């Protein structure tokens, strides 16, 4: 248990392992990626089935880059493996800080 002090006294919060996992609703999956029309169009062509899109590690990585996670060095190492066109990679690179 983690203990913290508050104005009213001690607060105890139990940290326990998760026992179940639930996927977010479809419209939440890869949310940042879904808001990039050009890149998302390429993923729709690659993964017409939603389950394949949701389970795609490439889509997860791209979603992370769009959110501002990852470095230019990481992107350079994996850009070719994402399956995107040169144009989409150029758009994606603009998200990387």
The tens digit of pLDDT for each residue in 20-46 reads: 988 888 888 899 999 999 999 999 999
Q: How many domains does the chain have?
A: 1
- Predicted structure pTM score: 0.76
Token output for 29: 């999956």
Q: Give residue 42's pLDDT.
A: 97
Helix (H, G, I), strand (E, B) or coil at 66: helix
Q: Report how far Cα 61 is from the mean position of its chain's Cα atoms.
A: 6
For residue 40, tell me if it sits in a domain: yes
For residue 71, tell me if it sits in a domain: yes
> Which band of pLDDT confidence, cut at 50, 70 and 90, is reported for residue 11?
confident
Token output for 93: 């690179």
pLDDT digits (tens, 9 = 90+) for 41-96: 999 999 999 999 999 999 999 999 999 999 999 999 999 999 999 999 999 999 99
Task: For Cα atoms 30, 74, 46, give the angle at the middle one, nearest 5 degrees.
Answer: 40
For residue 74, tell me if it sits in a domain: yes
Q: Give residue 3's pLDDT.
A: 52
């Amino acid at each position: 248990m983690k203990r913290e002090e508050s104005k009213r006294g001690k607060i105890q919060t139990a940290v326990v392992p998760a026992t179940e996992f639930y996927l977010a609703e479809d419209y939440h999956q890869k949310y940042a990626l879904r808001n990039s029309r050009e890149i998302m169009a390429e993923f729709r062509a690659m993964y017409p089935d939603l389950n394949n899109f949701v389970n795609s590690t490439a889509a997860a990585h791209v979603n992370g880059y769009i959110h501002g996670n990852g470095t230019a060095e990481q992107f350079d190492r994996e850009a070719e493996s994402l399956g995107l066109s040169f144009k989409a990679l150029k758009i994606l690179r603009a998200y990387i800080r």
